[in-house]
Amino acid sequence: MEKFLKTKSAAFVLPFVATVLLFVLWELAVIIFRIPPFNLPAPTNVLNALINFAPQLTVNALRTLWTTMLGFVIAVVVGVVLGFVIGYSKAAYLTLYPLLVAFNTIPKAALVPLLAIWFGANEIPATLTAFLLAFFPIAVNVALGLDTVEPEMKDVLTALGASQVETFQKVGWPHTLPYIFASLKIAASFAFIGTVISESVASNAGLGFLIVQATADFNVPLAFAALLILALMGVLLYCFFILVEKKVIYWAR
């Protein structure tokens, strides 16, 4: 066992086994305790729904994915720029940081009805909610990355007469990359949460919308199928960033 834990495949095998085991237990629990499917559908039941409602699920899943990605990309751009402004300018830090923290404490779900009034019940509030949830961790991490450059390293460059731009290019940017990637992984899940919240409150499509519709019809297996797809998309996006991270910042340990 000790030996196996040290192998590379352990990181893939173990979660997989755990997932299968969870589904088996779940299936057994539903059968043994005779839980009706509109309370808790068995995994096989969810799988059925997944197949039967495949077209509907695909359309809504793509909508959610597209909305999330758009919100996420905007969050990356705004977050990185904001992070650099806060990280490099003391004045901006003092002015903006308290505002950002205050804004971040507002539950974004509470903003969705307002966004719906302004933009209608469509993908725009969902994109914006995804963005609003995702940009904060990115901005904070970028600022943190810039702030943690060793002062000695800055001194070495400054004493050589390096310009601000050169210091950023040679030290600031590469040093901040690991912080950016750490935040991207968090921000990606946040963006999904934002989209689904918004879709379930005010939208005309998307997995959040589908879940609300399905539960209203007591089609709980369909709701679970949608949840399953959401989880899958989240995990895939997370893995994607881990792969990119390993390529880009191979030196960070």
Partner 1 sequence: MVQPRIDSMSIDSDIQGGEPLLEFDKVGLEYPFEGSMRRIIQEVSLSIQPGEFVSFVGPSGCGKTSILRMVSGLSPAPIGEIRYRGTPIKKPLRNTGIAFQNPVMLPWRNTIDNVMLPLEIVEPYKKDFRQRKGEYVRMAQDLLATVRLQDFQKQYPWQLSGGMRQRASLCRSLIHSPEILLLDEPFGALDAFTREEMWGMLQNLWMRVKCVGILITHDLREAVFLSDTVYVMGPRPSSIIYKVKIELPRPRTLEMELSDEFNHYFASIRQHIHHN
Q: Which is nearer to partner 1, 48 or 158 (CB)?
A: 158
Q: Is 100 exposed, middle or buried (0-12, 13-18, 19+ CB in 10 A)?
A: middle
Pick from 20, 62, 155, 244 the residue near partner 1 by CB under 8 A. Answer: 155
Residue 252 touching partner 1 (CB under 8 A) = yes
> Shortest distance, CB of residue 248 to partner 1, whole angstroms?
10
List binders of partner 1 among 170-199 (CB under 8 A). 170-171, 174
The site that binds partner 1 (CB under 8 A) totals a number of residues, namely 19
Q: State how far the alpha carbon of 197 is from the alpha carbons of 104, 134, 178, 204, 240, in Å.
A: 16, 13, 29, 13, 23
Residue 249 touching partner 1 (CB under 8 A) = yes
> Shortest distance, CB of residue 144 to partner 1, whole angstroms?
17
Q: Which is nearer to partner 1, 37 or 174 (CB)?
A: 174
Residue 110 touching partner 1 (CB under 8 A) = no
Q: Which is nearer to partner 1, 149 or 196 (CB)?
A: 149
Residue 157 touching partner 1 (CB under 8 A) = yes
Q: Which is nearer to partner 1, 124 or 156 (CB)?
A: 156
> Shortest distance, CB of residue 112 to partner 1, whole angstroms?
41
Q: Which is nearer to partner 1, 150 or 217 (CB)?
A: 150
Pick from 1, 110, 159, 165 the residue near partner 1 by CB under 8 A. Answer: 159
State the residues that interact with partner 1 by CB under 8 A: 150, 152-153, 155-162, 166, 170-171, 174, 249, 251-253
